[in-house]
Amino acid sequence: MQGYVARKGRQWYAVYAGLDPATGRERRRWHAAGTDPRDAEKLARQLAREERARRGQAPSRLTFAGFVVRHWLPAKRMQLRPTTIEGYERMLRLHILPTLGAIPLGDVRADAVQNLYGQLLLDGRHDGAGGLSAKTVHEVHGIVRNLLDDAVRRGMLAANPARLAASPRFRRDHHRRRKAWTAEELRGFLASIAGQRSHRWFWLAAHTGMRRGELVGLRWREVELDKARLSIVRTVICVGARMQEAGGKTPNAARTIDLDAATVGLLAEWRAEHTDHFGDDDANRWVFVKPDGDLLHPQSLSQAFDRAVAAASVPKISLHGLRHTHATLLLKAGVPLKVVSERLGHSTPAFTMATYQHVLPGMQAEAAATFAALLQPGLLPAGTR
């Protein structure tokens, strides 16, 4: 039997769900607990104790940390990307387990979870510089809620106390996060680094919208200069201090990108220099490498980009901002959304639209004017009747 708390109207209930041994069908038992969710949580725990006693089971003393290490993380490692797991492990190690780790799993209460969030907002930074942002604490809440939901599904908890704890609210500022350059600013930046080793890195990033790891993971065998295109089949990710190849970030990340004539010429020159430098024309060699031929670290590209931006007279953006610049300029120029989505390797055009919706207001105004003109033939432009 598994238990949880639920609300109907103003009334809270402790609910037990399981299979009826006589019929094999699911059976739910609802127990009214009043208008206070804490009372429902307390009743759910009481019912769990009674159920264990009826079955002759002793309550588990598995700690919160023990559940994370033995059950939750091993399951997640089979489902998620290594970089995502690394982020979870960092959050758990720094912000969650120091407070909740030693508490027996069955004794975790909503008040303890709520106090954790308050503590992190107040002084959660490990450098002593104050509290964590509301966004970071909201991410902590998502992890705690997810892993306790898993404990409920496994029948190890009667109810999830994190669902009774309020997480801090925050507003996502897409205009602040999605910084991009104008065409004039991009031209100025590329001109400022002309002749430098990094010029080809950032030219290709700007002209294709490739992600950082995709640039690092590109091999010459995937660059078809005669057909003016390249194929993205892998990315290089950082897991701790280690670099490793991985599949794309989305199901559509493996893709082919058409290249303009100037980019083809730049890559042709770069390959000729590679051949002269290394004494061969190895198609398996990485396109962008260290002087000794070793694989570049993705972070080195970001650091080189930050230095180049600081030396140029352009607004500050991140290396990922070149990807946003590529998408923004194409959308503003009227390139179809589906084409932009395919170049970026997004999961769906809908995701592209949601990400770059701030680019579309002017385009929508044009669409509105066109539709109005369709209903008033006299206003249609010449040649469209």
CATH of the domain at 105: 1.10.150.130
Average pLDDT of span 94-113? 91
pLDDT number for residue 54:
60
Using one digit for the tens of pLDDT, what is the confidence trace for 202-211? 999 999 999 9
In a domain, 247, yes or no: yes
Are 267 and 204 in contact by the 8 Å Cβ rule? The answer is yes
| Higher pLDDT among residues 328 and 25, named by residue | 328
Average pLDDT, the chain: 83
Residue 2 binned pLDDT confidence (cut-offs 50, 70, 90): low
Co-location of 286 and 199 in the same domain = yes
All residues at 6 or more sequence positions from 203 whose CB lies less than 8 Å from its CB, including other chains: 190, 263, 266
Using one digit for the tens of pLDDT, what is the confidence trace for 110-131? 999 999 999 999 988 887 788 8
Using one digit for the tens of pLDDT, what is the confidence trace for 356-365? 877 665 666 7
pLDDT at 275 over 50: yes
* Last-in-domain residue among 140, 171, 202: 171
Co-location of 193 and 311 in the same domain = yes
Q: What is the phi/psi pair of residue 37, to 5°?
A: -60, -25
Co-location of 360 and 223 in the same domain = yes
Co-location of 138 and 227 in the same domain = no
Co-location of 206 and 336 in the same domain = yes
Average pLDDT of span 309-324? 93
pLDDT winner (highest mean) among 14-28, 229-243, 267-281: 267-281
Using one digit for the tens of pLDDT, what is the confidence trace for 30-39? 888 888 888 8
- Between CA 377 and CA 352 the distance in angstroms is 34
Structural domain for 198, as ranges: 177-364
- Between CA 61 and CA 58 the distance in angstroms is 9
* Last-in-domain residue among 30, 59, 88: 59
pLDDT number for residue 19:
47
pLDDT number for residue 39:
85
Co-location of 194 and 333 in the same domain = yes
Co-location of 138 and 218 in the same domain = no
Co-location of 204 and 311 in the same domain = yes
Residue 174 binned pLDDT confidence (cut-offs 50, 70, 90): very low
- Between CA 259 and CA 71 the distance in angstroms is 47
pLDDT number for residue 175:
45
Q: The whole model's pTM is what?
A: 0.61
pLDDT number for residue 361:
57
In a domain, 377, yes or no: no
User: Percentage of residues in the chain with pLDDT exceeding 70?
Assistant: 83
User: How many domains does one find in the chain?
Assistant: 3
In a domain, 114, yes or no: yes
The two three-digit tokens of residue 220, written as one number: 């010459």
Average pLDDT of span 74-88? 85
pLDDT number for residue 318:
92
pLDDT number for residue 124:
87
CA distances from 217 to 44, 122, 200, 246, 335 (A): 52, 41, 15, 9, 27
Co-location of 36 and 75 in the same domain = no
In a domain, 133, yes or no: yes
pLDDT at 24 over 50: no
C-beta atoms surrounding 381 within 10 Å: 8
Using one digit for the tens of pLDDT, what is the confidence trace for 216-272? 999 999 999 999 999 999 888 776 667 777 776 666 678 999 999 999 999 999 999
pLDDT number for residue 31:
82
pLDDT number for residue 22:
41
* Last-in-domain residue among 123, 138, 171: 171
Co-location of 181 and 256 in the same domain = yes
In a domain, 371, yes or no: no
